[in-house]
Protein backbone atom coordinates (compact mmCIF):
# COMPACT_ATOMS: atom_id res chain seq x y z
CA UNK A 1 0.00 0.00 0.00
CA UNK A 2 3.00 2.06 -1.64
CA UNK A 3 0.00 2.30 0.44
CA UNK A 4 -2.33 4.86 -0.98
CA UNK A 5 -5.53 4.83 -1.54
CA UNK A 6 -8.09 2.23 -0.48
CA UNK A 7 -10.00 0.72 -3.37
CA UNK A 8 -13.68 1.20 -4.20
CA UNK A 9 -15.76 -0.83 -1.81
CA UNK A 10 -18.10 -2.14 -4.43
CA UNK A 11 -16.43 -5.11 -6.07
CA UNK A 12 -15.78 -6.05 -9.64
CA UNK A 13 -19.10 -7.73 -10.31
CA UNK A 14 -21.01 -4.77 -8.99
CA UNK A 15 -18.74 -2.36 -10.81
CA UNK A 16 -19.42 -4.00 -14.17
CA UNK A 17 -23.12 -4.27 -13.48
CA UNK A 18 -23.57 -0.63 -12.60
CA UNK A 19 -21.22 1.85 -14.23
CA UNK A 20 -22.37 4.74 -12.02
CA UNK A 21 -19.44 6.00 -10.00
CA UNK A 22 -19.91 6.49 -6.29
CA UNK A 23 -18.33 9.34 -4.38
CA UNK A 24 -15.72 6.92 -3.10
CA UNK A 25 -14.89 5.78 -6.63
CA UNK A 26 -14.37 9.36 -7.76
CA UNK A 27 -12.27 10.14 -4.70
CA UNK A 28 -10.10 7.05 -5.20
CA UNK A 29 -9.64 7.76 -8.91
CA UNK A 30 -8.65 11.35 -8.20
CA UNK A 31 -6.32 10.33 -5.38
CA UNK A 32 -4.50 7.74 -7.46
CA UNK A 33 -4.19 10.28 -10.30
CA UNK A 34 -2.66 13.09 -8.26
CA UNK A 35 -0.83 10.84 -5.82
CA UNK A 36 2.47 10.72 -7.78
CA UNK A 37 2.54 14.53 -7.98
CA UNK A 38 1.95 14.82 -4.24
CA UNK A 39 4.66 12.26 -3.50
CA UNK A 40 7.08 14.11 -5.77
CA UNK A 41 6.29 17.30 -3.86
CA UNK A 42 6.80 15.48 -0.56
CA UNK A 43 10.14 14.09 -1.77
CA UNK A 44 11.28 17.55 -2.85
CA UNK A 45 10.23 19.01 0.50
CA UNK A 46 12.14 16.31 2.38
CA UNK A 47 15.22 16.90 0.23
CA UNK A 48 15.31 20.68 0.51
CA UNK A 49 13.99 21.01 4.09
CA UNK A 50 15.56 17.98 5.77
CA UNK A 51 15.24 19.40 9.29
CA UNK A 52 11.46 19.12 9.14
CA UNK A 53 11.62 15.63 7.66
CA UNK A 54 13.98 14.41 10.37
CA UNK A 55 11.57 15.71 13.00
CA UNK A 56 8.82 13.65 11.36
CA UNK A 57 10.97 10.53 11.08
CA UNK A 58 10.40 9.27 14.62
CA UNK A 59 6.66 9.00 13.96
CA UNK A 60 6.71 7.02 10.69
CA UNK A 61 5.29 3.92 12.35
CA UNK A 62 2.27 5.98 13.45
CA UNK A 63 1.71 7.26 9.90
CA UNK A 64 1.81 3.72 8.56
CA UNK A 65 -0.57 2.51 11.27
CA UNK A 66 -3.09 5.17 10.26
CA UNK A 67 -2.77 4.12 6.61
CA UNK A 68 -3.34 0.46 7.46
CA UNK A 69 -6.30 1.31 9.72
CA UNK A 70 -7.83 3.14 6.76
CA UNK A 71 -7.28 0.03 4.66
CA UNK A 72 -9.04 -2.07 7.30
CA UNK A 73 -12.03 0.27 7.20
CA UNK A 74 -12.48 -0.50 3.49
CA UNK A 75 -12.58 -4.28 4.02
CA UNK A 76 -15.66 -6.44 4.46
CA UNK A 77 -16.19 -10.12 5.21
CA UNK A 78 -17.08 -10.91 1.53
CA UNK A 79 -13.53 -9.86 0.62
CA UNK A 80 -12.27 -12.94 2.46
CA UNK A 81 -15.12 -15.21 1.36
CA UNK A 82 -13.62 -15.17 -2.12
CA UNK A 83 -10.82 -17.39 -0.80
CA UNK A 84 -13.33 -20.22 -0.38
CA UNK A 85 -15.17 -19.50 -3.63
CA UNK A 86 -12.14 -19.08 -5.90
CA UNK A 87 -9.10 -20.39 -4.02
CA UNK A 88 -6.85 -21.04 -7.03
CA UNK A 89 -6.53 -17.48 -8.43
CA UNK A 90 -6.11 -16.10 -4.91
CA UNK A 91 -3.41 -18.69 -4.19
CA UNK A 92 -1.63 -17.93 -7.47
CA UNK A 93 -1.63 -14.21 -6.73
CA UNK A 94 -0.40 -14.48 -3.15
CA UNK A 95 2.29 -17.06 -3.94
CA UNK A 96 3.45 -14.99 -6.91
CA UNK A 97 3.59 -11.95 -4.64
CA UNK A 98 5.95 -13.62 -2.21
CA UNK A 99 8.00 -15.53 -4.79
CA UNK A 100 8.41 -13.30 -7.84
CA UNK A 101 9.07 -9.91 -6.26
CA UNK A 102 11.58 -11.02 -3.59
CA UNK A 103 13.61 -13.06 -6.09
CA UNK A 104 13.48 -10.31 -8.72
CA UNK A 105 14.63 -7.83 -6.07
CA UNK A 106 17.62 -10.03 -5.23
CA UNK A 107 18.41 -10.52 -8.91
CA UNK A 108 18.38 -6.77 -9.56
CA UNK A 109 20.59 -6.10 -6.53
CA UNK A 110 23.12 -8.61 -7.87
CA UNK A 111 22.85 -7.44 -11.48
CA UNK A 112 23.38 -3.77 -10.64
CA UNK A 113 25.91 -4.57 -7.89
CA UNK A 114 24.11 -2.30 -5.46
CA UNK A 115 25.82 -1.33 -2.20
CA UNK A 116 24.51 -3.23 0.85
CA UNK A 117 22.04 -0.62 2.15
CA UNK A 118 20.41 -0.08 -1.25
CA UNK A 119 20.41 -3.82 -2.00
CA UNK A 120 18.59 -4.52 1.25
CA UNK A 121 16.12 -1.74 0.46
CA UNK A 122 15.30 -3.18 -2.97
CA UNK A 123 14.92 -6.70 -1.56
CA UNK A 124 12.72 -5.45 1.28
CA UNK A 125 10.40 -3.76 -1.22
CA UNK A 126 10.09 -7.12 -2.96
CA UNK A 127 9.31 -8.91 0.30
CA UNK A 128 6.50 -6.49 1.21
CA UNK A 129 2.82 -7.38 0.65
CA UNK A 130 0.72 -5.85 -2.09
CA UNK A 131 -0.16 -2.17 -1.91
CA UNK A 132 -3.78 -1.05 -1.65
CA UNK A 133 -3.35 1.27 -4.62
CA UNK A 134 -3.30 -1.92 -6.69
CA UNK A 135 -7.01 -2.28 -5.97
CA UNK A 136 -7.78 1.06 -7.61
CA UNK A 137 -5.50 0.30 -10.55
CA UNK A 138 -7.22 -3.09 -11.00
CA UNK A 139 -10.59 -1.31 -11.02
CA UNK A 140 -9.43 1.21 -13.61
CA UNK A 141 -7.87 -1.58 -15.70
CA UNK A 142 -11.19 -3.48 -15.88
CA UNK A 143 -9.53 -6.33 -14.06
CA UNK A 144 -11.12 -8.30 -11.20
CA UNK A 145 -11.35 -5.79 -8.36
CA UNK A 146 -12.78 -8.30 -5.89
CA UNK A 147 -9.86 -10.64 -6.57
CA UNK A 148 -7.38 -7.77 -6.20
CA UNK A 149 -8.83 -6.73 -2.83
CA UNK A 150 -8.69 -10.32 -1.59
CA UNK A 151 -5.10 -10.81 -2.76
CA UNK A 152 -4.03 -7.58 -1.05
CA UNK A 153 -5.84 -8.50 2.15
CA UNK A 154 -4.39 -12.02 2.36
CA UNK A 155 -0.84 -10.94 1.49
CA UNK A 156 -1.08 -8.18 4.11
CA UNK A 157 -2.26 -10.60 6.81
CA UNK A 158 0.62 -12.94 5.91
CA UNK A 159 3.22 -10.14 5.99
CA UNK A 160 4.28 -10.65 9.66
CA UNK A 161 5.44 -14.14 8.68
CA UNK A 162 6.72 -13.87 5.12
CA UNK A 163 8.24 -10.37 4.98
CA UNK A 164 10.78 -10.91 7.82
CA UNK A 165 11.50 -14.51 6.81
CA UNK A 166 12.19 -13.65 3.16
CA UNK A 167 14.17 -10.53 4.08
CA UNK A 168 16.38 -12.58 6.42
CA UNK A 169 16.88 -15.27 3.79
CA UNK A 170 17.59 -13.01 0.82
CA UNK A 171 19.13 -9.91 2.41
CA UNK A 172 20.92 -11.41 5.40
CA UNK A 173 24.17 -11.65 3.45
CA UNK A 174 24.18 -7.87 2.94
CA UNK A 175 23.29 -6.63 6.43
CA UNK A 176 22.23 -8.26 9.72
CA UNK A 177 18.45 -8.78 9.80
CA UNK A 178 16.52 -9.05 13.07
CA UNK A 179 13.56 -11.04 11.72
CA UNK A 180 11.84 -11.30 15.10
CA UNK A 181 11.88 -7.56 15.69
CA UNK A 182 10.71 -6.95 12.11
CA UNK A 183 7.82 -9.38 12.54
CA UNK A 184 6.74 -7.64 15.75
CA UNK A 185 6.89 -4.26 14.02
CA UNK A 186 4.68 -5.52 11.18
CA UNK A 187 2.16 -6.90 13.67
CA UNK A 188 2.04 -3.53 15.44
CA UNK A 189 2.04 -1.32 12.34
CA UNK A 190 0.02 -3.47 9.94
CA UNK A 191 -1.87 -6.43 11.36
CA UNK A 192 -3.41 -4.78 14.43
CA UNK A 193 -4.52 -1.59 12.58
CA UNK A 194 -5.98 -3.58 9.65
CA UNK A 195 -7.93 -5.89 11.95
CA UNK A 196 -8.98 -2.91 14.04
CA UNK A 197 -10.35 -1.17 10.97
CA UNK A 198 -12.20 -4.31 9.91
CA UNK A 199 -13.81 -4.61 13.36
CA UNK A 200 -14.87 -0.95 13.32
CA UNK A 201 -16.39 -1.49 9.86
CA UNK A 202 -18.38 -4.45 11.19
CA UNK A 203 -19.59 -2.53 14.24
CA UNK A 204 -20.25 0.88 12.70
CA UNK A 205 -20.69 0.14 9.01
CA UNK A 206 -23.08 2.99 8.29
CA UNK A 207 -20.83 5.57 9.89
CA UNK A 208 -17.78 4.21 8.05
CA UNK A 209 -19.66 4.32 4.74
CA UNK A 210 -20.07 8.07 5.20
CA UNK A 211 -16.33 8.67 5.55
CA UNK A 212 -15.12 6.23 2.88
CA UNK A 213 -14.59 8.97 0.24
CA UNK A 214 -12.05 10.62 2.57
CA UNK A 215 -9.99 7.49 3.21
CA UNK A 216 -7.89 7.67 0.01
CA UNK A 217 -6.71 11.09 1.11
CA UNK A 218 -5.83 9.80 4.57
CA UNK A 219 -3.61 7.22 2.89
CA UNK A 220 -2.09 9.81 0.54
CA UNK A 221 -1.29 12.11 3.48
CA UNK A 222 0.24 9.26 5.46
CA UNK A 223 2.53 8.01 2.72
CA UNK A 224 3.55 11.60 1.91
CA UNK A 225 4.73 12.04 5.50
CA UNK A 226 6.65 8.74 5.29
CA UNK A 227 8.37 9.89 2.08
CA UNK A 228 9.31 13.27 3.58
CA UNK A 229 10.87 11.49 6.56
CA UNK A 230 12.73 8.94 4.41
CA UNK A 231 14.08 11.43 1.87
CA UNK A 232 15.23 13.88 4.53
CA UNK A 233 17.49 11.22 5.99
CA UNK A 234 18.95 10.02 2.69
CA UNK A 235 19.83 13.19 0.78
CA UNK A 236 23.44 12.09 0.29
CA UNK A 237 22.31 8.72 -1.08
CA UNK A 238 19.95 10.47 -3.51
CA UNK A 239 22.75 12.64 -4.85
CA UNK A 240 25.20 9.77 -5.18
CA UNK A 241 22.94 6.87 -6.22
CA UNK A 242 19.55 8.28 -7.22
CA UNK A 243 19.85 7.21 -10.87
CA UNK A 244 20.82 3.62 -10.12
CA UNK A 245 18.04 3.30 -7.55
CA UNK A 246 15.50 4.59 -10.07
CA UNK A 247 16.73 2.02 -12.60
CA UNK A 248 16.40 -0.73 -10.00
CA UNK A 249 12.86 0.36 -9.13
CA UNK A 250 11.72 0.56 -12.76
CA UNK A 251 13.12 -2.92 -13.50
CA UNK A 252 11.63 -4.39 -10.31
CA UNK A 253 8.19 -2.96 -10.90
CA UNK A 254 8.08 -3.78 -14.63
CA UNK A 255 9.21 -7.37 -14.19
CA UNK A 256 6.63 -7.78 -11.45
CA UNK A 257 3.86 -6.76 -13.84
CA UNK A 258 5.15 -9.02 -16.61
CA UNK A 259 5.93 -12.12 -14.56
CA UNK A 260 2.74 -11.80 -12.52
CA UNK A 261 0.66 -11.76 -15.69
CA UNK A 262 2.37 -14.80 -17.21
CA UNK A 263 2.35 -16.75 -13.96
CA UNK A 264 -1.44 -16.56 -14.01
CA UNK A 265 -1.75 -17.27 -17.74
CA UNK A 266 0.57 -20.28 -17.61
CA UNK A 267 -1.60 -21.67 -14.81
CA UNK A 268 -4.64 -21.33 -17.09
CA UNK A 269 -6.25 -18.32 -15.50
CA UNK A 270 -8.48 -16.04 -17.56
CA UNK A 271 -7.43 -12.67 -18.93
CA UNK A 272 -9.06 -10.64 -16.16
CA UNK A 273 -7.47 -12.77 -13.43
CA UNK A 274 -4.10 -12.50 -15.18
CA UNK A 275 -4.36 -8.71 -15.38
CA UNK A 276 -5.29 -8.63 -11.70
CA UNK A 277 -2.32 -10.80 -10.74
CA UNK A 278 -0.06 -8.61 -12.85
CA UNK A 279 -1.15 -5.45 -11.05
CA UNK A 280 -1.11 -7.09 -7.64
CA UNK A 281 2.39 -8.52 -7.99
CA UNK A 282 3.92 -5.38 -9.50
CA UNK A 283 2.55 -2.91 -6.93
CA UNK A 284 4.02 -3.20 -3.44
CA UNK A 285 3.28 -1.78 -0.01
CA UNK A 286 6.29 0.49 -0.29
CA UNK A 287 5.13 2.55 2.69
CA UNK A 288 5.65 -0.50 4.89
CA UNK A 289 8.98 -1.26 3.21
CA UNK A 290 10.21 2.32 3.74
CA UNK A 291 9.20 2.35 7.39
CA UNK A 292 10.78 -1.03 8.10
CA UNK A 293 13.96 -0.13 6.22
CA UNK A 294 14.37 3.18 8.04
CA UNK A 295 13.81 1.63 11.46
CA UNK A 296 15.67 -1.67 10.98
CA UNK A 297 18.54 -0.48 8.77
CA UNK A 298 19.02 3.16 7.73
CA UNK A 299 17.25 5.99 5.86
CA UNK A 300 19.38 5.15 2.80
CA UNK A 301 17.95 1.62 2.82
CA UNK A 302 14.48 3.17 2.69
CA UNK A 303 15.28 5.14 -0.47
CA UNK A 304 14.24 2.38 -2.94
CA UNK A 305 10.85 2.15 -1.26
CA UNK A 306 10.36 5.92 -1.40
CA UNK A 307 11.13 5.98 -5.13
CA UNK A 308 8.95 2.90 -5.64
CA UNK A 309 6.05 4.84 -4.07
CA UNK A 310 6.27 7.39 -6.84
CA UNK A 311 7.04 5.14 -9.76
CA UNK A 312 4.57 2.28 -9.26
CA UNK A 313 1.62 4.68 -9.21
CA UNK A 314 2.77 6.30 -12.45
CA UNK A 315 3.40 2.94 -14.10
CA UNK A 316 0.20 1.50 -12.65
CA UNK A 317 -1.87 4.27 -14.22
CA UNK A 318 -0.21 3.64 -17.59
CA UNK A 319 -0.73 -0.11 -17.25
CA UNK A 320 -4.40 0.44 -16.41
CA UNK A 321 -4.84 2.47 -19.59
CA UNK A 322 -3.25 -0.33 -21.64
CA UNK A 323 -5.32 -3.09 -20.02
CA UNK A 324 -8.50 -1.04 -20.31
CA UNK A 325 -7.97 -0.58 -24.05
CA UNK A 326 -7.24 -4.26 -24.53
CA UNK A 327 -10.27 -5.41 -22.50
CA UNK A 328 -12.55 -5.43 -25.53
CA UNK A 329 -10.43 -8.19 -27.06
CA UNK A 330 -11.62 -10.58 -24.34
CA UNK A 331 -15.41 -10.14 -24.25
CA UNK A 332 -16.03 -13.75 -23.26
CA UNK A 333 -13.70 -13.69 -20.27
CA UNK A 334 -15.84 -14.40 -17.20
CA UNK A 335 -16.45 -11.70 -14.60
* CATH code where residue 274 lies: 1.20.1530.20
Instruction: Give dist(CA 220, CA 36) in Å, integer.
Output: 10
Residues linked to residue 284 through DSSP beta bridges, in sequence order: 130
Is 310 within the bounds of a domain?
yes
Is 145 within the bounds of a domain?
yes
Mean pLDDT along residues 197-224: 85
Helices (H), the chain: 12-17, 23-48, 50-57, 60-74, 77-85, 87-111, 116-127, 133-140, 145-171, 179-186, 192-203, 205-211, 215-232, 235-266, 271-282, 286-296, 303-326
Is 84 within the bounds of a domain?
yes
Instruction: Give dist(CA 118, CA 121) in Å, integer.
Output: 5
Mean pLDDT along residues 248-264: 97
DSSP secondary structure, 271-335, as one string: HHHHHHHHHHHHSB-HHHHHHHHHHHT-TGGGHHHHHHHHHHHHHHHHHHHHHHHHGGG-TTS--
Look at 317 and 284; give whichever has higher pLDDT: 284
Output the pTM of the full model.
0.84
Is 320 within the bounds of a domain?
yes
Look at 110 and 85; give whichever has higher pLDDT: 110
**If DSSP codes are grouped into helix, strand and coil, which group holds residue 130?**
strand
Contact 97, 280 (CB under 8 A): yes
Q: Is the pLDDT of residue 87 over 50?
A: yes
Is 1 within the bounds of a domain?
no
Look at 206 and 248; give whichever has higher pLDDT: 248
**142 band by pLDDT with thresholds 50, 70 and 90:** confident
Task: Say what the pLDDT of residue 30 is.
Answer: 66
Instruction: Give dist(CA 230, CA 221) in Å, integer.
Output: 14
The rounded percent of the chain whose pLDDT value lies above 90 is 45
The rounded percent of the chain whose pLDDT value lies above 70 is 87
- pLDDT (tens digit, 9 = 90+) per residue, 32-44? 667 778 878 888 8
Look at 85 and 127; give whichever has higher pLDDT: 127
**246 band by pLDDT with thresholds 50, 70 and 90:** very high
Q: Is the pLDDT of residue 19 over 60?
A: no
Is 228 within the bounds of a domain?
yes
Is 3 within the bounds of a domain?
no
Structural domain span for residue 224: 12-325
**335 band by pLDDT with thresholds 50, 70 and 90:** very low
Task: Say what the pLDDT of residue 32 is.
Answer: 62
Q: Is the pLDDT of residue 68 over 60?
A: yes
Is 100 within the bounds of a domain?
yes
Structural domains of the chain, count: 1
- Which of 228-232, 242-246, 263-267 tops mean pLDDT? 263-267
Q: Which of 19-23, 115-119, 297-301 bottoms out in mean pLDDT, i.e. has the lowest?
A: 19-23
Instruction: Give dist(CA 283, CA 125) in Å, integer.
Output: 10
Task: Say what the pLDDT of residue 27 is.
Answer: 59
Task: Say what the pLDDT of residue 219 is.
Answer: 78
**132 band by pLDDT with thresholds 50, 70 and 90:** confident
**23 band by pLDDT with thresholds 50, 70 and 90:** low
Mean pLDDT along residues 289-295: 90
Q: Is the pLDDT of residue 207 over 70?
A: yes
Amino acid sequence: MSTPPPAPTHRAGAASARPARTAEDRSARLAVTVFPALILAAAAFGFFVPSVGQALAEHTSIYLGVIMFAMGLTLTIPDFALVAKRPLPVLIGVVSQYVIMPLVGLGIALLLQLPPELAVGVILVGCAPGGTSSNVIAYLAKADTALSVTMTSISTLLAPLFTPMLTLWLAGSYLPVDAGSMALSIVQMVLIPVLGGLVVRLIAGRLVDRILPALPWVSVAGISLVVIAVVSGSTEAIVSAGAIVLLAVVLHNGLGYLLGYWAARLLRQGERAARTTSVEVGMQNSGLAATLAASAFSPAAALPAAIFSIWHNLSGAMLAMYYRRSADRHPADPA
